[in-house]
């Protein structure tokens, strides 16, 4: 299919050293992935810097642009800016297999590396966990304050008291809990 071929990097043709390749990503890019339910539209540019060595090929991706997301709260569509970098390493070996999540083994006669799936996965991983429209990001939501077993209580007075407290020897000591007082007496007896 022609779409997939446009994301081939023909590594066999490259000499050792650095090479730059740019890919333009539009709405049609996202429509070519069957499991795509999160991102359907977007305008991004992907710059891939290929650093080919004797035994390894390092691909550095810089992806920048916007994708259209649906707000989890209001269900409004909004543009989410993205600007991030990722890295993938291809090592030469006897067979093609994944070694690690960012290390892949290829054979020396592998003609090209297709980066479409990688770019797609990088974009999905860069999306925020909570997709909130910019108009609603500053609002304090009760669910953001939820804690297991109840809610967090925010007391402005307590916050200012804690900020004002500084360890100062000139301040009068506050009364100590009687249980601690007894323990301190025992401790002081042992030390003397």
Spell out the domain ranges in the chain. Answer: 2-133
What is the rounded CA–CA span in Å between residue 114 and residue 136? Answer: 38
- Token pair of 28 as six digits: 């049609």
What SS3 class is residue 141? Answer: coil
pLDDT above 70 covers a percentage of the chain that reads 79
- At 4 the pLDDT is 81
Q: For residue 146, list its beta bridge partners.
A: 151
94-107: average pLDDT: 90
54-83: average pLDDT: 93
| pLDDT per residue as tens digits for the range 107-146 | 888 899 999 999 999 999 999 999 988 888 777 454 554 4
- At 138 the pLDDT is 78
C-alpha Rg value of the chain to the nearest Å: 28
Picking from 90, 79, 188, the residue whose alpha carbon sits closest to that of residue 132 is: 79
User: How open is the CA angle 51-25-123, to the nearest 5 degrees?
Assistant: 75
């Amino acid at each position: 299919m022609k779409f997939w071929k446009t994301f081939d990097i023909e590594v066999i043709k490259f000499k050792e050293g650095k090479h730059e390749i740019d890919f333009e990503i539009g709405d049609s890019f996202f429509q070519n992935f069957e499991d795509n339910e999160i991102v359907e539209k977007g305008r991004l540019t992907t710059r891939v810097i290929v650093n080919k060595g004797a035994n390894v090929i390092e691909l550095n991706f810089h992806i920048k642009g916007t994708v259209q997301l649906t707000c989890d709260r209001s269900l409004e569509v909004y543009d989410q800016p993205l600007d991030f970098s990722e890295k993938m390493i291809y090592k030469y070996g006897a067979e093609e297999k994944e070694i690690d999540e960012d290390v892949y083994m290829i054979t020396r006669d592998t003609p090209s590396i297709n980066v479409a799936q990688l770019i797609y996965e990088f974009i999905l991983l860069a999306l925020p966990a909570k997709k909130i429209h910019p108009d609603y990001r500053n609002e304090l939501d009760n669910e953001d304050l939820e804690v297991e077993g109840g809610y967090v209580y925010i007391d402005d007075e307590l916050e200012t008291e804690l900020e004002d407290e500084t360890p100062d020897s000139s301040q009068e000591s506050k009364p100590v809990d009687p249980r601690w007082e007894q323990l301190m007496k025992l401790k002081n007896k042992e030390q003397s």
